[in-house]
């Protein structure tokens, strides 16, 4: 298996975050704006088979194709840079090291969907990333790559960098729109879909950072080249992020469809002296998998077949020292904290699931409570207003599926049978072992 | 008291957006950069500029965790205690900092007003776990000892350098001003990437792998 650095290819270059460090003058954007028409750009991205890298995997070109044309309304591009899904850590390093590939992707995308105003919605808790994106946008304006008449093509584009304020739910695209309109970030009812009535009720495309950043290479090097990686239904390459109990955690850009076994080999394996216990393929909202799934292809179909989802390709690795009940409790606390409160199943359900899981972790709840927990999940999944509620059930139902005995063991031993210090990456004075 | 400069900057924020209300999130960051939290005066300013009621502004401000209802420290320390960081040691780091600073409440502040402490959710740096943030700059691969040292240095006025960020940590108010959209000219400081970020690329270079 070969690694395929494309988005990451300049990350080791001196001052990679500048236009010089990016190594160019936006030649893919120049090609699109001066030699192609918008529809052929959309067609190229459709033909490439690029699918959304933010979790849902929707075909990017199709999303662009839904934007009505000749409707007389302004069109908007909103880049979802609100990376907050637990375990997910790809867009932040990408924007830190290479913000210009995102800006170039924004230009091409806006040209394709006939938009003259884009917003990059960056989560607020990453100060230096906000600086790097602000500086990249400013440099692009200075060099005439943004603003009026870009490349003499007559195409105008303005880009605003907008910092969020700490709310996971704003990664949900319609909640993001409400937030960008200056409201509480709560999801909207669909339809109408954002392609018809998005920002300010105008046609809007919302794409993840990595999706947009993948566009310049497709335009520059061509559809056939892109489709040379990955599979028929999941073409291309992507950033896989390994974290946790792994020898060399980090970003590995590889073709879609590699397996965790292959990635772990590259990353030096699971922490020395330990075995893989459970992992997430794409953040905490994707059902947990175990060592029996080491050879499942990490692409959209492969992960669905394995009973999970590709999500954000955030591979969080937990070894045999980790208590799955503790892990799931903490994720559930996260969902309860981040639930926006709009719908009852998610708002109330996540609250009660935390209560039950706390008792389970303390050894004060028995097998009957595990059933109650599953029943609560059943009342959230498919009944919540947006995917946050569905996601909250994933770690619970999957962990019970694979580790029901461990839940019961907490009850039988009257508490958590694991030593949290054994899971930590350091040995530390002053920490009880 | 909101300064005249802030009022001037607020008008610049409004000018960025096709519709004024979109300016509300950056305006609230701007208010924090001046007042140190979302003050009643700040809420009144936003309401006045956007034609909203103070209740409407307050409803938005209280939804987002980065907006503080009481002043935080000059240096706001966040310890990631979401699952992955927690398991890798974040819980121990948070416990150590609580004990070391005597801060027991979320967003609590040391007596000298220098440092406040919050346990935060996943900050998108899982390959650098356990992660600590200071004024939203990254401090990667922390231990209880290293985190205590950061807090001590912040309180004694020593320069403190993030692992991936500017050459030194700015104050919380200065950070809020950047988040309001006023670039501070510091993007060229710091590294392009941390060691974990480059693991895959380094391997690709060693093996001659190309796309």
Q: What is the pTM of this model?
A: 0.98
Q: What whole-number distance in Å separates Cα of residue A212 and Cα of residue A216?
A: 8
Give the contacts of A42 (CB within 8 A, at least 6 positions apart).
A61, A64, A65, A112, A113
| Sequence spans of domains, chain B | 4-63, 75-170
Q: A378 to chain B nearest CA, in Å?
A: 23
A389 close to A343: Cβ distance less than 8 angstroms: yes
Q: What is the pLDDT of residue A332?
A: 98
The predicted complex's ipTM stands at 0.98
Average pLDDT over residues B7-21: 98
Residue B69: pLDDT over 90:
yes
Average pLDDT over residues A172-190: 98
Please name the member of A12, A165, A337 whose beta carbon is closest to the beta carbon of B67: A165
Helices A344-361 and A367-380, axial angle in degrees (round to 10):
160
Q: What is the pLDDT of residue A427?
A: 80
Q: What percent of chain A has pLDDT over 90?
A: 97
Average pLDDT over residues A234-242: 97
Fold match between domain B4-63 and domain B75-170: no
Whether B129 sits inside 8 A of A252 (CB atoms) is no
Q: Check if B207 contacts A (Cβ < 8 Å).
A: yes
Output the average pLDDT for chain A.
97
**What digits encode the pLDDT tens for the residues A299-308?**
999 999 999 9
Which residues 183-202 on chain A approach chain B with CB closer than 8 angstroms?
Answer: 183-185, 200
Average pLDDT over residues B175-200: 98
Average pLDDT over residues B98-118: 96
**What digits encode the pLDDT tens for the residues A156-165?**
999 999 999 9
Count Cβ atoms below 10 Å from residue A344 Cβ, excluding itself: 14
**What digits encode the pLDDT tens for the residues A78-136?**
999 999 999 999 999 999 999 999 999 999 999 999 999 999 999 999 999 999 999 99
Tell me the sheet residues that pair with A83.
none
**What digits encode the pLDDT tens for the residues A349-405?**
999 999 999 999 999 999 999 999 999 999 999 999 999 999 999 999 999 999 999
**B4-63 has which CATH code?**
1.10.10.1590
Average pLDDT over residues A21-41: 96
Residue A203: pLDDT over 70:
yes
Q: What is the pLDDT of residue B6?
A: 98
- Burial class from Cβ neighbours inside 10 Å (0-12, 13-18, 19+) for residue B8 reads exposed
Residue A433: pLDDT over 80:
no
What's the token pair of residue B54? 């103070």
Tell me the sheet residues that pair with A259.
A297
- The pLDDT confidence band at residue A25, using thresholds 50, 70 and 90, is confident
Q: What whole-number distance in Å separates Cα of residue A54 and Cα of residue A66?
A: 19
Q: B165 to chain A nearest CA, in Å?
A: 5
Please name the member of A127, A331, A431 whose beta carbon is closest to the beta carbon of B178: A127
Considering the domain B75-170, what is its CATH architecture? 3-Layer(aba) Sandwich (3.40)
Please name the member of A167, A184, A243 whose beta carbon is closest to the beta carbon of B65: A167
User: Which residues from chain B sit within 8 angstroms of residue A9, using beta carbons?
Assistant: 201, 211
Q: What is the pLDDT of residue A428?
A: 57
């Amino acid at each position: 298996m070969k690694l395929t650095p494309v988005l990451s290819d300049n990350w080791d270059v001196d001052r990679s975050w500048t236009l010089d460090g990016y190594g160019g003058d936006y030649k893919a954007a120049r090609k699109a704006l001066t030699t192609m028409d918008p529809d052929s750009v959309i067609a190229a991205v459709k033909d490439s088979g690029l699918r959304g890298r933010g979790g849902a995997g929707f075909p990017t070109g199709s999303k662009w194709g839904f934007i009505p044309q000749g409707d007389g309304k302004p069109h908007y591009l909103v880049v979802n840079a609100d990376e907050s899904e637990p375990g997910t850590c790809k867009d932040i390093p990408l924007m830190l090291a290479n913000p210009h590939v995102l800006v170039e992707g924004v230009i091409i995308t806006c040209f394709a969907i006939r938009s003259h105003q884009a917003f990059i919605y960056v989560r607020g808790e990453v100060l230096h990333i906000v600086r790097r994106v602000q500086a990249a946008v400013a440099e692009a304006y200075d060099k005439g790559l943004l603003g009026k008449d870009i490349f003499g093509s007559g195409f105008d584009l303005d880009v605003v960098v907008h910092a969020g304020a700490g709310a996971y739910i704003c990664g949900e695209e319609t909640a993001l729109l409400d937030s960008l309109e200056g409201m509480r970030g709560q999801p909207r009812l669909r339809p109408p879909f954002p392609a018809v009535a998005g920002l300010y009720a105008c046609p809007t495309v919302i794409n993840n950072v990595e999706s947009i950043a993948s566009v310049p290479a497709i335009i520059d090097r061509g559809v056939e080249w892109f489709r040379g990686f990955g599979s028929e239904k999941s073409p291309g390459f992507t950033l896989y992020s390994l974290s946790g109990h792994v020898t060399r955690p980090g970003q590995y850009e590889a073709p879609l469809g590699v397996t965790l076994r292959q990635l772990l080999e590259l990353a030096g394996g699971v922490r020395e002296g330990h075995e893989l216990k459970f992992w997430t393929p794409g953040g905490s909202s994707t059902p947990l998998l175990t060592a029996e799934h080491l050879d499942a292809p990490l692409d959209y179909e492969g992960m669905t077949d394995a009973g999970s989802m590709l999500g954000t390709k955030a591979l969080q690795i937990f070894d045999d020292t980790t208590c799955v009940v503790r892990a799931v409790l903490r994720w559930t606390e996260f969902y309860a904290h981040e639930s926006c409160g709009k719908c009852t199943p998610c708002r109330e359900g996540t609250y009660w699931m935390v209560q039950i899981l706390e008792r389970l972790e303390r050894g004060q709840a028995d097998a009957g409570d595990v059933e109650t927990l599953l029943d609560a999940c059943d009342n959230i999944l498919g009944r919540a207003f947006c995917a946050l509620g569905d996601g909250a059930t994933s770690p619970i139902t999957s962990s019970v599926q694979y580790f029901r005995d461990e839940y019961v063991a907490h009850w039988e031993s009257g508490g958590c049978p694991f030593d949290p210090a054994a899971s930590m990456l350091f040995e530390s004075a002053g920490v009880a072992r | 008291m909101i300064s005249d400069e802030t009022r001037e900057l607020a008008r610049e924020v409004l000018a960025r957006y096709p519709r004024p209300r979109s300016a509300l999130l950056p305006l609230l960051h701007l208010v924090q950069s001046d007042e140190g939290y979302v003050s009643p005066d700040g809420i009144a300013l936003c309401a006045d500029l956007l034609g909203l009621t103070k209740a409407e502004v307050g409803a938005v401000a209280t939804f987002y965790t980065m907006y503080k209802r009481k002043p935080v420290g000059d240096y706001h320390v966040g310890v990631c205690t979401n699952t992955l960081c927690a398991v890798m040691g974040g819980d121990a780091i948070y416990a150590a900092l609580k004990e070391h600073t005597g801060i027991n409440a979320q967003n609590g502040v040391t007596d000298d007003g220098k440092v406040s402490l919050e346990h935060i959710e996943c900050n998108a740096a899982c390959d650098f776990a356990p992660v600590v943030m200071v004024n939203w700059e990254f401090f990667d691969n922390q231990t209880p000892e290293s985190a205590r040292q950061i807090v001590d240095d912040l309180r004694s006025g020593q320069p403190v350098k993030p692992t991936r960020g500017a050459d030194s940590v700015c104050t919380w108010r200065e950070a809020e001003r950047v988040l309001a959209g006023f670039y501070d000219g510091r993007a060229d400081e710091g590294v392009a990437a941390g060691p974990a970020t480059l693991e895959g690329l380094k391997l690709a270079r060693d093996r001659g792998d190309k796309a």
